[in-house]
Amino acid sequence: MPPSVKRFLTPVAIVAAGLAMIGALVAVSGVVSVRASSGHWAITRWFLSFSMARSVSTDSLDVTVPETLDDPAMILRGAGHYQTGCYACHGNPTTPHPRVAAAMLPPPPYLPDVTAQWEPEELFTIVKHGVKMAGMPAWPTEARDAREDEVWAVVAFLRAFPGLSESEYRELVWGDLEEGRAALSAAGIERAHVQTCVRCHGVDGNGRGAGAFPLLAGQSREYLAASLRAYASGGRPSGMMEPIAAELTAAEVDALAEYFAAQTPRPSEPRSPDGQAIARGALIAREGVPARHVPSCIDCHGPGKAVENEEYPRLAGQPAWYLVTQLELFASGARAGTERANLMHEVADTLTEDQMADVAAYYAAVPAE
């Protein structure tokens, strides 16, 4: 290093070391308060929210907004999760500022008051990654990159939220909760927060219309229970189902699986019947794709045959988006967590995107059995 540079750097290094020492002393002395009760100075508050907005904006540069944000199924799915994962901090039209959360620093805002300030891709970034040192959690599954579809469903709901009245909100988020509670109590499932499965899956396990949720009605007990255990272990990634499944006792898993398996599936209504896609999908389901060594789906999944093994799910009547999403999760290896998931990794890995869409269109159009 030339001597002139050295002469310049030495005092800089001494000053930096001095400042670090003072910083350390201040921290050790405990005079910097971490009390949430003491609030922030106005300048600190401004600096924190300015840097948060800048960070969110930069993180959102490469985010692409899907075209489906007004889809009622996405809004319904996002609304369901809002009650599980957001309400306790961000409130609802009846209680916009829950008391405990209002004592946080910063206090979580009532979202209908603030969402207009954010672009959809910024809301996505906030909900996916959370906000450090503010108490705003990241999306609650470790495989967040694999479940961006779920984050978008919440963004779809956040955009619809400001226009909702108290009763519209209640209908969207709670559905037929009272009827569902009575039915689940009769089936021996007593804990109130566990009974809330019916908010999303419907009292009879056929979902809440609009194809927002997978059907549970008519699946086998074995498959339903294995799925709940897979979510609870984190092996099957879903920020919507993992927190719910992780709270269930083993006895509740069995009782819930038995309850939903005993419900009668309702015939499905295909949402956008594309006859040609359905015909191509039917061929794949029946014969597989011999050129790519994809086996027939029907032997394991029906319809029209007794499903060979109780741990194999029925696919008939499931919403197309759900089937495609699950095939993508298998193909990327993100969905695991059961003894049989490996059977699907190879199948899904060899299907092209178009083939996934076709076979999903077919199964979505077959009446659930």
Give residues in contact with ligand HEC (CB under 6 A). Answer: 49, 52, 77, 80-81, 84-86, 88-90, 101, 104, 106, 108-109, 111, 114, 117, 123, 126-127, 131, 134-137, 154, 158, 194, 196-197, 199-201, 213-214, 216, 224, 227-228, 238, 240-241, 244, 256, 284, 288, 294-295, 297, 299-301, 311-313, 315, 323, 325-327, 338, 340-341, 343-344, 347, 359
Nearer to ligand HEC, 132 or 276 (CB): 132
**Nearest-approach distance from CB 240 to ligand HEC, in angstroms:** 4
Nearer to ligand HEC, 8 or 293 (CB): 293
> Rounded to whole angstroms, how far apart are CA atoms 7 and 30?
36
Q: How far is the CB of 200 from ligand HEC (least distance, A)?
A: 3
Residue placing its CB nearer to ligand HEC in the complex, 240 or 278: 240
Q: Is 286 left (phi over 0), alpha (psi -120 to 50) or beta?
A: alpha
CB of 27 to ligand HEC, least distance (A): 22
Residue 266 is classified by DSSP as P
For the bound state, the minimum distance from the C-beta of residue 358 to ligand HEC, rounded and expressed in Å, comes to: 9
Query: What whole-number distance in Å separates Cα of residue 262 and Cα of residue 265?
Result: 9
Our CB check for ligand HEC shows the closer of 295 and 333 to be: 295
137 vs 333, which CB is nearer to ligand HEC?
137
Q: Compute and round to an integer the Cα radius of gyration of the chain.
A: 25
Q: Minimum distance between the CB of residue 280 and ligand HEC, rounded to whole angstroms?
A: 12
Q: Which is nearer to ligand HEC, 228 or 361 (CB)?
A: 228
CB contact at 8 A, 332 and 146? yes
- The sign of the dihedral angle between the CA atoms of 234, 235, 239, 241 is negative
Cβ(219)–Cβ(261) under 8 Å?
A: yes
Distance separating alpha carbons of residues 60 and 58, to the nearest angstrom:
5
Instruction: Name every residue whose Cβ is closer than 8 Å to that of residue 267 and which is 6 or more positions away in sequence.
Output: 317, 367, 368
Helix (H) or strand (E) holding 180: helix 177-186
**Closest residue by beta carbon to ligand HEC:** 197
Residue pair 57/117 in contact (Cβ under 8 Å)? The answer is no
Q: How far is the CB of 342 from ligand HEC (least distance, A)?
A: 8
Residue (160 or 344) nearer to ligand HEC, CB: 344
- The least distance separating ligand HEC from the CB of residue 125, rounded to whole angstroms, comes to 9
**CB burial readout 111-141, b (16+ within 10 A) else e:** bbeebeebebbbbbbbbbbebeeeebebbbb
Q: Closest CB to ligand HEC among 20 and 119? A: 119
Report which DSSP code applies to 189. Answer: -
H/E stretch holding 27 reads helix 3-29
Contact 90, 108 (CB under 8 A): yes
Task: For the CB of residue 128, give the shortest distance to ligand HEC in the complex, in Å.
Answer: 10
